Amino acid sequence: MRLLLLNKPFRVLTRFARSDERATLADHVAVPGVYPAGRLDYDSEGLLLLTDDGRLQSLIADPRHRLEKVYWAQVEGVPDEGALRRLSEGVLLNDGPTRPARAQALPPPAALWPRDPPIRYRAAIPTAWIELGLREGRNRQVRRMTAAVGHPTLRLVRWAIGPWTLEGLAPGEWREVPTADVRAWRSTLAVDDDPPRRVGGPGGATSASARPGVARYASTPRGPARSSAGGRRSTGRPGRGPRR
């Protein structure tokens, strides 16, 4: 059972297979048999988890399990308390109302790297950062939510998924979570067992354990994962193609 934390760069597809000239995960992760647990848009950045374990993939990706995902969004304008309250309580989108979320103003994150290319700068329109914690996963949800309250998203970074964060990872870098830490996290969940299944991504499949039922959270540790054995951290750069 393997779990990798990747800082997905801007303009990288969340898949390994290549169908055009756009960069993919294969440009950054040269580890066979792992696939994304969930998605992250081509024009979004930040934390993406990859695993070779079907049960773990389901626990992370399935919105039924309500694993919190934390996003940092740079938005157009400065949201007031009313806008943040609407985001927290839920906003009406074209596919229905969103669930309650965490929403708060955020100082410009010192831990972030410059984006390449940078966002469009307009001197007459200020920008601000907000943090959103979501426990559901609709298509382009953060962008649609901020637009619904009058503050379109200019840059979007996923900082955390459950107990794992981007801490210490530059764009394109990844590190592996020790198996003992993954098992400890899973032990905080009560999960119903189902028959074994297979899991995979584009271009292949890998034998994996069962798809679980709905998980109940007993506790959720927070903080960055530790590096793999010996404290080494892979940059995931072997075989990396040109940056786009």
For tokens 């303009």, the residue is 11
Nearest 10 degrees: Cα torsion 75, 221, 113, 153: -10
Q: Token digits for 204?
A: 């292949």
**CB-based contacts of 20: which residues, under 8 Å, 6+ apart?**
none
Selecting among 20, 41, 80, 95, the annotated active-site residue is 41
Q: Active-site residue 41, yes or no?
A: yes
**CB-based contacts of 72: which residues, under 8 Å, 6+ apart?**
46, 106, 109, 112, 129, 130, 131, 156, 157, 158, 159
For tokens 């081509």, the residue is 42
Active-site residue list:
41
